[in-house]
Structure formats: structure tokens, C-alpha cells
Chains A and B, each alone.
Chain A
């Protein structure tokens, strides 16, 4: 509100300058001897100085506010993103989401800052200047505004065209980006089938289409600015003709004539900026719409309102006729589609029986070690994903300690599950921060030394400690692009340490030993067993040796349970288990032999 006052005063003071010019000129014309030129000059400077102060605040507040708003949208958006379901992220690309938070947010901010500033400014300049003009000479004012009524028509018509064409250009940009991304991701296929030329020509077509759409946008945009200047020019032209005639007739002083010309000049610039503002408004509103679409997506995997008073889980797990497929709810799919035109929602096209997991049931008692085996793509990892509720199954129930997992709060559930994924995601932080990831609050009562002791303890269990001590900066060593590159095995061991830090009741190891050689694997395993007795451990693995001694082994094939039992039993019962065992024996034999 204060900012509007600033805008008002800035513009009101701006009106004074032509007014003083008028007085000076009339005075020079009529009373050349008694004109105090110095006084008027100082007046002008004084007004400009005061106006400068107002202008300073106007700009600072308005543009500053737009940055503050940008800040809060960005913060809220990120916070909202983190709440969204995993299925949202499997259906969108990181790049597209990033684009929302950079390009689109920028467009919104430009509209809110410079856009609104100019919009208000234009309105005030118009209202105040016109008022003063009418006060001086109604007839001349009316004449000089003769061309202005076409403005709203022009703005409306061209604005619509701009909007349409801008949207088309943005859409093509998204297509072009997607193509680029795919070409890079599939470069190996492209190279080995020597499809570079074809790729180039496809890219060239999309690129050309983008060029065409941009030029079609340019044809309208090119007309916008000059036509605003033209309308303003007509105003000056009329003042020259009608005002000049009035001066000749003696109904207008030469000073007033100059004043009028100055006013027409001062409403021409805001007029010109209208075109620019319209552009910003168009972009801003399209972008705000896109951002809002994401805000409208409601996460489905959420904590219940009423939660049992449980802090720790013992680790009895039951799957009760679980059916699952990766599926988006209709509303979410619609909102994603509205934003990313290259998004293809296939979950509804496929036939209804296209389940990833079909009728999975099993019971695990607390403290058991359970192995899950099966071929790639059989659904093993999906089972692991369901336990910490990364996804919720469509049919059936998952129970932990006799309660549906949906009745626990997400925090409690996940804090009690140590999860080591196939390709552990590590962050560009120090080793210490990576192990501590997410437990900062949880361990804060231990203090710096206590926390470090815990970190070292879990690192020893996972056999990471020896490696860490080799680094000059030890646990403070940065990993990622700017730090050291960890080997696959080191990454997996770090991920295991990270999962153990909260002393979870359930530990899920999703193929976590694939980059660790068999010897190290056995070492880690021995230590794990020694140190984590009583923890329910679910091990998903390709290697039978890893899970051979489990209390229970579940064989998954094509989303269904093929067999459940112990090693010896399964060797007899399950053909799949047998063939997996053979395959692994082959490579193990070779490894041992050399």
C-alpha cells in the first residue's frame, strides 16, 4: 500500500516539471525582464531531487517485494515437492521440474516486480497526467487523445495473439528439450547403429519447427512496440496541429503548448511499456498456472491423522494379498499432463491385469532374516519399496506388528526402517553428513562427540571405517563432483552405515552387495549379524550365497510368488531358484579358480 503512495507522489511530482517549463516559457514570452530564471532552474532541480527520493522507495519496495515473493514461492514449492509421492517423480523428469523452479518462477517474478511496477506506474501517469491536461484545456486534451481508444483494442487483440503464439513456442521448446535429453541418454544405441545423421535430421526438424513458432511470435511482437509509439506519435501530431492553431488564435499560450507536448511525451513512454508489460503478464500468468498445477497435486502417501503411540517397531511384517502397479491417480495425471506435454500416461491404456505385483502374501516374524530372489524385473525391489511406503499398493494390506502400515506416521515408520537401495543416492556433502543424513535432529541430544561415536560405530560395522581413515580429511571428506569419487563398493558400504544409524527394527538391503566382492560381503555380513541381533532383515539379492542361510527365502517370478521356503527345500521345489543358483555358482567358481 505504501508503495502505491510512492508511485503516486513520484508521478505527481513528475507532472510539476512540464508545469514549471510552461511558466518559464510564458514568462520569457511575456515578461522577459522580470523572469527569474535561476529560481525556476533551482525549482526544477529541487523537484527532481524530492521525486528521486520517492522513486527510490517505489522501486526498492516494489521490486524488492517481488523478490521476497519469489523467495517464498520457491521455498514453498520445494517444501511441497518433498511431500509429493514417489510416483510423481517417476512420471516427471528432474529437468522439467527444475525448469518450473527456474524459468517459470522467473517469469512470475518478472510479472510481479517490473511488470506490476510498470502497470501501476502507467495507470498513475495516465490518470494524473490526463487530469491535469483536461484542467488546462479540455478541447486540446480531447483532440490529442483521439487515437487512444484504439489502444485497448490493440492491446487485447495483439495480447491474445501473443499469448497463443508464446504458448506454442514454449510447447515446442519442451519437445526440443525432451528430444535432446533422449538423444544424450540413448547415445550408445545411436552410435552403434550409426543413426547420428537421422538423429540430426530429426533434431533439425524439431529445431526448425521451434524457429518457425518463434518467428510467428516475432511477427506479432514486432508490431506491438512500434504501434504503441505510433499511437503516442499521433497524440503529439494533434497537439502540434490543434494546439498550434490555438496559440495562433490566442486561446493557448506558447508555454501551455510546450507543457502539453511534454505531457503527451510523458504518457507515450508508459504507453510503450504497456506492450512490454502485457508480454510479462502473459508469460507470468502462463507460468503461474504451471506452478499452481503442481501445487494442486495432493500427495496420497501421507501420515494418518490419528496415530498409535508407538515409537519403535519390533519388525513383524505381513503382506496380505498385495496387488501393485505404478499408477497415477487421474487428477495428478491430468495436472502433470497440463504441464508437461510430452508426458504420456500409459497406466490407463494398458489392460487392467498389468500388475507389477500379483497377489503377494507372506509373513515375517520379528528378528528373522529373509531373502528375496528373482530375475531382473521380477518385482523384487518393488516389494522393498512398499514397506517404507514409497508407494502404496492398490489392493491388499501390509501389516507391521499387526497394524496396517498406513496407521503409523510416515516419520515413525521410516525411522524404524533402515533402507539400502540398489544404487544408493549419495549427496555432495561430506561423508559424515551423508551418514548422518536425516538423523540430524534425532541424534542432536548426543552432542558432537556422541554423534561422531555413533557414526564411527556404524561405519565399522559396514567396513567403511578403514577406507574413510585413508582419506586425508577422513569423515569430513567431500564426495561427489567436487570431492573424492567413491568406488561402487564404498558407496554401498556408506549406504549401509547410513541405514544403520537410527538403530532400525527393520533393515532392507536391496541388492546392496552387488559392487562388493564376495569376501567383503561375507565380512560385512558376519559383523552385521553380530551387531544387529533381533533386527528383521530383508535381503534382496541376485546372489544366492548372500541369502542361502536365511530363515526364509521368497522366490519372485513375474510379480508372483514362485516359492517360499529354506535353501535346501527350494533347490528341490523351485526351478527358478535352481537356475539362479547355477548361474551364480558359475561365476563364483571362476572367481575362486584364479
Chain B
């Protein structure tokens, strides 16, 4: 087993101030609700503490002296207490949940919106699965802490405080004796937590190992099949799985020791009260009712403590999840709209590249010193071998990536001065691998833009010759596209992409031309639009106003079809060669 890849992240996951502060930012809009919930918790704790006190009064004032009428009065009071407790608790639980769900909703929206703002390079670096986990699983995990966690914490603390006050007011000597046992409890809890904290850190690392392994094994399942690796995979997986089991069994051991110890300590407290308090009762310094109330309080006292320990693991998970979420939110998108973008009512569509240098990473330039001009309504084609950098041109005008050197102008304005949305609205893209969303054909053409009417969609589809095949599909425009459009042919998908580009009616069009796409449809949508086309075949090139030949990121030849032929360079050679073949 190679260990290197797997997460060895054993860093301390304490809730640091930064995270707490950020989490509070999400709670803030609901602070009144939180206040109300805490108030309800306070009431619940008060009512719960009132119970044993009522029993004490019943014993001392009515049962021991034998006054039944008074007892009825206490019983009615007790009944009211539990009824109120019921009602208050219901609302407390509901409000807590409401708050937690609202916060999760906000958080998901924030992360989703943030992801949408990230530049393309972010998606190159982060696999889909990882980004998804932030929006889904991590938020879910965090909820445990935000809703039930914080509230339980408050509730349990109130309870402990309330009982302490109550006990002290009943009999301070007896209380102090009870509290003396608490030192033992503090020691036990301290040891337990430090052991469990370490164990949980290892557990997190182990489960992350299991998940990475699984993800890889499932993604590469066909490779495993072809290479007969199933059995070895089973063995590898068993080892990881076993490690996880072993460390978990260890925490189970800690818990199994801790809980009996808590009970033993609480029984010791009861024993002390019987021993000491019993003497006082015999000496008539203490009523029997107080003794009974004390015993009941001790039981209530220890419950929140074990409750908090039980939730310890959940807290640890949640802290780790929130760290991951905030780390994502902290990443600032590198390509953003300027603070005060230019306001342009109409785009004419002339484009200028001025000594543009571009690299996806570092200084590894894929485009070197590229300059060209394109007038409104004209078209330009880029020709070049694989790796010549021609595809990268398409990613620059709409600022999917920012260039390192030089400037790009649209209508003589630097594209960086436009609002991103404004800029992209005017640029239509027809891509190589057509991405279709699950949903109907109609949705895929107008992309959720309800301003585009059904008639417009049909008109566009007819224009690019997509209408015919769509009409033949079961359900026609309501035909459900399976994930990524696997049920449609490549050609059909391209026609949908054409219709999509046309229906949005952009002034500028960027096209990645493929041998499979229909030339007629392509020529149609290029009409009256400034077009940059990355060409893979001569038939497309013949239809453009200007041709640029790229090689290793540089422009080596440019001009019209005629001019380039006269030049007798690469283009000429190419054309002649093709012509010979075709005739």
C-alpha cells in the first residue's frame, strides 16, 4: 500500500477563533431566533429543576405530615410543569432545527454562488467531486454542530448551573460534599477527551484513506476489470478497512470505560449524600424531602455530562468540515469585474488583440506575441497543428483566463474594463465537446432563460437544421436528455449547440470547428456576426475573411485566402495538397 497519497492530516482540529467568528457570521441573521431558543432552553432547564423541588415539598410538607389536600395542589402544579415543558420543548426543538436549516440554506447558496464566480483555472485544479463535497456533505456535517450542537451545549450548561444553584440554596454543606466528587469527574473527563481526541484525528485520516481509495477504484473500475485486479483491490481495501476498524474499536474501548466511570462517580456522590445527609436527617438537621431531592438532582446533574461526551465526535467532524468550507470561501476569484465597469449600450463587435502573451501556468507560454484586428461582422480563422495554441485563443476574449502580457480590446475598450457578465453576454461560444444538461431539449437550447420564447427556440432550431431531428425524438422539444446527452449522436449535440448559440443572438461568435459538424448550419450562424473560428478543415476556412496560421504559439502567416496562396508558404502548400486530393 502506498501511503503517500492518502491523507496524513493529523493536525489538531480545535475550534479556532477565526472559524468561530466566521460561523457566527452565519448565525447572526438569526440571532433573535437563537436568543429565543436559548430563552426556551433556559425555561426548560428551570422547569426540569423545579420537578424534584416539588417532590421535596410534597414529601416534607404534605406526605410526611399526612395532608392530602396540599398534595393534590402540588400534583396539579407538577402537572402544569410537565405540560409546559412539553410545549416549550417542542418549540425549542423546532426553532433549533429551523435555524440550522436556514443557516445550511444560506451556506449552500453562498458556496454555490462563490463557485460560480471562480475562474476556469479553479475547475482545472479541483475535481468535480471535491467541490461537490463542500456544497453537500460538509454543510450537512456542519449542521449537526450548528443546530443541535450549540443548543445542546447551552442547554446542558444551563442545566448544570441551575442544579448547582438549586442544590446550594437547599443545603450548601451537602452541595459542597457532592461537588467534591466532581474533581474525580473532571479528571476522568480530561483523560477521556485527550485519548478520544487523538483517536478521532486518526479516524478522520483513515476514513479519508478509505474514501480516496474507493473513489479511485470506482472511477478506474474498467481498468481493474481489464487487468484482472479485482482480487488485489479487495486485499488492499481490506487493509484500509481493517485499520479503520481497529482504531474505532479503540475509541469504543474508551467510551466503554468512560461511561461506567461516570456512573460510578455519580453513585459515589449519592453514597456520600446518604452517608453524610442520612446522619443529618437522623439528627433532624435535614428533612427527608431534601435528601430525596438531592439524590434526584445528582442523577440530572450527570446526564448532561455524558451527553456532551457522546457528541464529542460529531463536534470534531463538524470543525473539520467547516475548515474545509471556509478554506474554499477564502479563495478569491482571480478574474472579476472591475469596480466601475464601462457602460456600453451597444456592442459593435470589433476585436483587437495587441501583443498578447498567455500561459495556463507560470511562464509556459502557449500564445506568444499575438496581434490581430477584426472588424465588425467579419470572420477570422485560426489554423495550426495540435498544440499550436489555437484553441487557447477562444478562452481569452470572454476572460475564461486572463492574459499575462498585452491587451485585448472589444470596440476599442480593454476587455478588463467591462463587467464580466456584460462582456460574455455579447459573445456566443460553440464548443468542441458539447455539454448538455439533464433536462429537456428546450431547456438545453434556452438554458433556463425564460425570456426566450418557445417560438424563438423553434425558429433557431429550424435555421440550423436541428428542428428535423428534434421533431423525430419521442416528446420532441420535451425529450429528456440523459446526463451529458449520451443518447444523442455527436452531430445532433452539435446542432443543439448551434441552436443554443443562435437563440442567444450574440454579436460575436467563437467557434471550435469540428469535422463532424454541419458546414451549412455553421455558415448560417456566422452570418452578420464577428466570428473567430478555430478551424480543422479547409472547407470552413474558405468561408472566412481572414486566415491566421499559428505554430508553436506564434503567428507565422496571415491574410486572406488569396493573399496566403500568393505567399506560397505553408498555407499554399496545404491548400494545393488538399485540392489535389479532392480532385
Contacts and interface: CB of A to CB of B under 8 A. Distances in A.
Interface stretch (B348-356, B370-378, B521-529, B571-579): B571-579
A430 B2 contact: yes
Contacts of A143: none
Interface stretch (A57-65, A547-555, A561-569): A57-65
Nearest to B571: A590
A128 interface: no
Nearest to B394: A192
Contacts of B385: 587-588, 590-591, 594
Contacts of A448: none
A526 B253 CA distance: 63
B129 A95 contact: yes
B424 interface: yes
Contacts of B128: 181, 184-185
Interface string A356-385: 000000000000000000011100000000
A359 to B, nearest CB: 18
Contact of B5 (A28, A342, A481): A481
Contact of B259 (A59, A241, A410, A427): A59
Contact of B447 (A198, A208, A257): A198
Interface in A164-193: 173, 176-178, 180-193
B483 to A, nearest CB: 8
A12 interface: no
A427 B260 contact: no
B581 A377 contact: no
Contacts of A189: 429, 431, 435, 437, 447
A582 interface: yes
Interface in B206-252: 210-212, 214-234, 237-238, 241-242, 244-245, 248-249, 252
A37 B4 CA distance: 63
A180 B136 contact: yes
Nearest to A200: B113
Interface string A384-414: 0000101000000000000000000011001
B326 interface: no
Nearest to B97: A218
A165 B90 CA distance: 18
B154 to A, nearest CB: 16
Interface in B76-131: 78-79, 81-83, 85-87, 89-91, 93-94, 97-98, 101-102, 104-105, 108-109, 112-113, 115-117, 120, 123, 128-129, 131
B567 interface: no
Interface string B39-64: 00000000000010011001100111
B388 A240 contact: no
Contacts of A415: 228
Contact of B255 (A63, A68, A199): A63
A192 B2 contact: no
Nearest to B537: A583
Contacts of A254: 59, 63-64, 288
Contacts of B483: 93, 182, 344
Interface residues of A, number: 161
A114 to B, nearest CB: 9
Contacts of B237: 75, 78
Nearest to B570: A593
B198 interface: no
Contacts of B573: 589, 593
Given A51-B263, A186-B437, A218-B93, A411 B132 contact: no
Interface in A420-440: 421, 424-425, 427-430, 433, 437-440
A594 B551 contact: yes
A419 interface: yes
A9 to B, nearest CB: 13
A593 to B, nearest CB: 4
Contacts of A234: 82
A429 B219 CA distance: 15
A86 interface: yes
Interface string A36-54: 0110111011011101110
B449 A478 contact: no
A433 to B, nearest CB: 7
Given A180-B132, A236-B51, A377-B516, A37 B225 contact: no
Contacts of A433: 2
A83 B231 CA distance: 10
Contacts of A346: 480, 482, 487
B556 interface: yes
Contact of B538 (A55, A196, A198, A586): A586
A307 B71 CA distance: 87
B268 A195 contact: no
B506 to A, nearest CB: 9
A456 B6 CA distance: 27
A48 B570 contact: no
A534 interface: no
Contact of A594 (B271, B538, B552): B552
A55 B259 contact: yes
Given A44-B271, A94-B219, A248 B260 contact: no
Contacts of B486: 326
Contact of B220 (A70, A95, A342, A427): A427
A208 B105 CA distance: 7
B136 A177 contact: yes
A29 interface: yes
Contact of B549 (A24, A203, A590): A590
B71 A241 contact: yes
Given A221-B97, A438-B232, A74 B241 contact: yes
A207 interface: yes
A594 B225 contact: no
Interface in A557-578: 558, 578
Nearest to B291: A25
B225 A207 contact: no
Nearest to B71: A244
A471 interface: no
Interface in A222-244: 222-223, 225-227, 229-230, 233-234, 236-237, 240-241, 244
B161 interface: no
A470 interface: no
Contacts of B86: 226-227, 229-230, 233
A37 B101 contact: no
Interface stretch (A97-105, A287-295, A313-321, A460-468): A97-105
A341 to B, nearest CB: 12
A575 to B, nearest CB: 11
B295 interface: yes
B194 interface: no
A237 B75 contact: yes
B263 A48 contact: yes
Contacts of A240: 54-55, 58, 71, 74-75, 78
A344 B491 CA distance: 22
B241 A75 contact: yes
Contacts of B469: none
B151 interface: no
Interface string B543-561: 0000001011000100000
A265 B85 contact: no
A41 B291 CA distance: 14
Contacts of A237: 75, 78-79, 82
Contacts of A222: 90-91, 93-94, 97
B271 A81 contact: no
A590 B388 contact: yes
A94 B212 CA distance: 12
B582 interface: yes
A247 interface: yes
B369 to A, nearest CB: 15
A98 B218 contact: yes
A590 B224 contact: no
Which 3 pairs from chain A and chain B are nearest by CB? A438-B227, A52-B260, A233-B82
9 contacts: A68-B245, A94-B218, A177-B136, A229-B89, A245-B71, A265-B296, A390-B225, A478-B4, A586-B538
